[in-house]
């Protein structure tokens, strides 16, 4: 079975005069998800995640939590390759509260949302699971 590997960043910020994080979601047109994309040849997961973040959001600086790494695996059907097993590794990245998002051609919108709203908005069960893990990690650190 063919495989694919991607990497992404669960981006959050702490707005001024607030304590709770807001998480960045991207609107792909048919679903809401996180910045992520294929790991290219010669690239490690972390470098790929940061590159994809920059390409998809214009965000060039994110402070990645060294202790957070979450992998998901799912299957999808490709017209040429058939059934593909895909693994995505997510890092957790804090950005400046004033970080501006400039979406790429792959997206139709982007929004920072508080945890509960983000959990409702994100589309896939694996994405919900990833957000829950990120929030639990942040709660444990505070």
Please state the domain extents for the chain.
Answer: 3-135
Residue 64 makes CB contacts below 8 A (sequence gap 6+) with 9, 46, 49, 50, 91, 92, 93
| pLDDT value, residue 78 | 92
Would you place residue 77 in the very low, low, confident or very high pLDDT band (cuts 50, 70, 90)?
very high
pLDDT recorded at residue 81: 93
88 touches 8 (CB < 8 A): yes
Residue 4: band (very low, low, confident or very high) from pLDDT cuts 50, 70, 90: very high
How high does pLDDT run on average in the chain? Answer: 96
Q: What CATH topology corresponds to 3-135?
A: Nucleoside Triphosphate Pyrophosphohydrolase (3.90.79)
**At which residue do the structure tokens 């694996």 appear?**
126
- The stretch 133-142 carries a mean pLDDT of 95
The pLDDT confidence band at residue 142, using thresholds 50, 70 and 90, is: confident
């Amino acid at each position: 079975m063919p495989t694919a590997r991607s990497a992404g960043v669960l981006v959050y910020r702490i707005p001024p005069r607030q304590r709770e994080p807001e998480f960045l979601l991207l609107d792909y047109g048919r679903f809401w998800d996180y910045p992520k994309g294929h790991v290219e040849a010669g690239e490690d997961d972390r470098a790929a995640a940061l590159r994809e973040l920059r390409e998809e959001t214009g965000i060039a600086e994110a402070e990645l939590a060294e202790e957070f790494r979450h992998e998901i695996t799912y299957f999808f059907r490709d017209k040429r390759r058939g059934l593909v097993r895909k693994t995505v590794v997510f890092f957790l990245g804090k950005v400046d509260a004033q970080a501006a998002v400039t979406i790429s051609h792959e997206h139709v919108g982007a929004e920072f949302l508080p945890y509960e709203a983000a959990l409702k908005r994100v589309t896939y069960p694996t994405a919900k699971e990833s957000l829950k893990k990120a929030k639990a990690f942040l709660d444990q650190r505070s």
